[in-house]
Structure 1
Amino acid sequence: MTRVIVAGAVAWTDVGAIRRELAKLPVGATVIHGDSPGADALAGRVAAELGLAVEPMAKNEADYDEKSSRRVKGRVFHVSRLTR
């Protein structure tokens, strides 16, 4: 099962770049996003249009590790940059 996290700039407007990358995902993939404006919202919309499962994750201060925002509920996430 493929699960992809999309988190990006709230000022992101390049829906084409997001569509290009999400279109590469296999059928049945899940797109998880931070439920914020910009890249997150675009990824959720595009993923739904492509028929992918979408899981928005609203921000919640209690979920963040005190030492690093990259650690959420004890999990470490590896980040990949989307390029235009």
Structure 2
Amino acid sequence: RRVLLQAARSEGIEVVERPFTPQEAKSAREAFISASSAIIIPVIRIDGQAVGNASPGSVTLRLREAYGRFGELS
């Protein structure tokens, strides 16, 4: 989590941590989940409904790349 937040800041990506509804997630332009064992996993469908254009988004891909750089430094 710490590394992911650092990576987001380094990319100028604003991070807001707050509860959200399943409907908000379904209507998002893009979504991902993160875990220490899997790093960043794009979410392209929720309950069968496409999220965004049903492919990994540009922010997700930028964060994955930035996470790799920060993960090497940690």
TM-score (norm 2): 0.31
TM-score (norm 1): 0.28
